Chain A
Amino acid sequence: QVQLVQSGAEVKKPGASVKVSCKASGYTFTGYYMHWVRQAPGQGLEWMGRITPSSGDTNYAQKFLGRVTMTRDTSIRTAYMELSRLRSDDTAVYYCAAEYNWFDPWGQGTLVTVSS
């Protein structure tokens, strides 16, 4: 079936980087934008950016410019989101979401905890 499976939870120290993966199945990976969205504990949704899997082109939210890098490996149908120079307020659940079926599916979410 159509699904996105994300990598597992991460604990990082301030200043470090984290790379979250999102493996797609059940649809044409290169045919649809892949978005990354995060949600801090008890807070709202925040769009981070998107990647065009066929070309690797990216669009990032202004807030994350210079700190986020979205990439993909089409051979294994996987998208990646790397966030650098982590701060405590980057603690959040990070989701990938494909624009395949009007923003469906979403991954299960990856909790990234930033703590010293």
Chain B
Amino acid sequence: QAVVTQETSLTVSPGGTVTLTCGSSTGAVTSGHYPYWFQQKPGQAPRTLIYDASNKHSWTPARFSGSLLGGKAALTLSGAQPEDEAEYYCFLFYSGVWVFGGGTTLTVL
């Protein structure tokens, strides 16, 4: 089974910009992996931020954006807010099965 890799932790200053990445052990991440990004806060279920690499959900703040960059999926946060401190998970599709990345703990400090 494929392994999906993410940064373990990142820190961003309030108002700053940070990019989280998502790689695949099988090679480049493409649109065919239908990349998702989920945000999870303590004690809550995950919530979709981005689907199909770059599409925002109805509740996704404009400061979040998704892309495919250098063979990886990327989630960019521009203008970080304290409420963005959370765990972020990448989620990729591989011919009938889905795999989560290990998650990135984002600290806004």
Contact = CB atoms under 8 A, between A and B. Distances in A.
18 contacts: A44-B87, A44-B103, A45-B46, A45-B91, A45-B100, A46-B100, A49-B97, A62-B1, A62-B97, A95-B45, A102-B36, A102-B48, A102-B55, A103-B38, A103-B91, A106-B45, A107-B45, A108-B45
A106 B47 CA distance: 8
Contacts of A89: none
Contacts of A72: none
A45 B40 contact: yes
Ranked nearest first, the 9 interchain pairs of A and B with the lowest CB-CB distance are A106-B45, A44-B103, A102-B51, A59-B96, A45-B100, A62-B1, A47-B98, A103-B48, A102-B48
Contacts of B38: 45, 103
Contact of B98 (A35, A102, A106, A108): A35
Interface residues of A, number: 23
B89 A104 contact: no
A104 B96 contact: no
Interface in A58-114: 59-63, 95, 97, 101-104, 106-109
Given A45-B40, A46-B100, A103-B36, A61 B45 contact: no
B89 A44 contact: yes
B91 A47 contact: yes
Interface in B51-76: 51, 55, 57
Interface of B: 1, 36, 38, 40, 45-48, 51, 55, 57, 87, 89, 91, 96-103
A63 B45 contact: no
A109 B48 contact: no
Contacts of A107: 45
A37 B101 CA distance: 13
Nearest to A44: B103
